[in-house]
Structure 1
């Protein structure tokens, strides 16, 4: 009886569409229990169906997230691409803009660093923006404050030197190590360190954190590539593919 009921329901759905779906409320208690047992038996006999269903669900969720991300990027375009305080590298006239949110104490940011540099340098037509997002404790904040203060006191070239050094630094970040780092580049470390706790530096960090929150970014590294958002580490080949997709 149950198999006949299921077949009839399937035929009705095929002919009449979703409105004719099987109505469990119309079953007797016995029919309902038998139906559940049949479904359970089917899933035990065909467990791969569960994985197929999960894959479909994940694909739909990914598509919804991607569409939402396009809207988020558009709504926050000025803050992402023209905030007036973030360092801009690569080709300023590039046809693709990549924005990276990073933390100097983030292991995956360190792993991504040479690959992102390779992408930008080998491509030659990428505008690359970096945004300080210190989220991994006091050492992260200290490093970011020093880098931002360097940019505001000594300019973009000095910032790039300090940024690259911090992205490859091993060991703890402290006032002592930062002072030595600045001195190694011939910078006025007294002026930089005096500026670290200024309102101007705080404003940059606060703005970047607020932007990350609006973009649903909670970890580093995170990237905006064209109108796509990538939350997490992506190897060089993956980034190259995304850039190619954005250009196509």
Structure 2
């Protein structure tokens, strides 16, 4: 239908205006009105053309957005993939890196949590980077500070245990719940609490805020998968499909 419309336009122009007047701005008022009337009549007779045109426009906009995302990823690759403040799991030598911007109080992050775990563990060749991105209030911020403090004091394994516990914790995030969590991990809460207020912890979170702003990320979960961006939750099967597509490129 779009090709029919393309062929119809010159005919409409021939009826409505001299051959030289191919620009609406170059037409007289009468010619312009006649042209518009012919186009309107065609579209009313063939309304499916509008849907096809919208589909093409959506596809072009999606392609442009993907190209823009790829350029942003390339520009900020070091901060995305190689920041020492971030925990790295999965296969450190994996052929694809997945970066997740997450918030412990985000319902969709919690929903994605077991599926991302299955994606990484089931694949075996994905490098997985966690970005602490607390944007949903004071409890989110406390949880991220706790997790980062644990990593700085006790290392990556302890961080992952804390991360998993925070992702599945039903209680509010406060001093009591974090103290109980620290006890469960065999960590002295007083030490963690002191580290939570440190400049080092604040810097990691601030860097992630700034990176998210540069990457036009405003919600969680948000993922960088190879040279693509995914803003929002995506079921496991679709994430697996994206990984397959990336490997096929």
Q: Same fold (TM over 0.5)?
A: yes
Query: 1:108 deviation in Å?
Result: 0.9
Cα pair 2:108 2:221 within 8 Å, conserved? yes
The more displaced of 84-93 and 21-30 is 21-30
The 3-state SS of whatever aligns with 2:134 is coil
Aligned to 1:180: 180
The normalised TM-score by structure 1 is: 0.89
Query: 1:170 deviation in Å?
Result: 2.0
Alignment of 1:53-202 (within 5 A): 53-202=53-202
- Over residues 70-109 of structure 1, what are the superposed CA-to-partner deviations in whole Å (9 max), with x where a residue is unaligned? 2211111111111111001111111111111111111111
Query: 1:121 deviation in Å?
Result: 0.6
Unaligned 5+ runs, structure 2:
1-7
2:35 and 2:14 map into 1 onto residues whose CA distance is: 14
- Over residues 105-162 of structure 1, what are the superposed CA-to-partner deviations in whole Å (9 max), with x where a residue is unaligned? 1111111111100011111111111000011111111111111111111111111011
Aligned to 2:241: 241
Cα pair 2:70 2:227 within 8 Å, conserved? yes
2:167 and 2:220 map into 1 onto residues whose CA distance is: 13
Unaligned 5+ runs, structure 1:
none
Cα pair 2:12 2:38 within 8 Å, conserved? no
2:198 and 2:88 map into 1 onto residues whose CA distance is: 22
Q: CA RMSD in A?
A: 2.2
Aligned to 1:225: 225
2:214 and 2:84 map into 1 onto residues whose CA distance is: 18
The normalised TM-score by structure 2 is: 0.88
1:217 and 1:239 map into 2 onto residues whose CA distance is: 19
The 3-state SS of whatever aligns with 2:69 is helix
Aligned residues: 238
The more displaced of 78-87 and 20-29 is 20-29
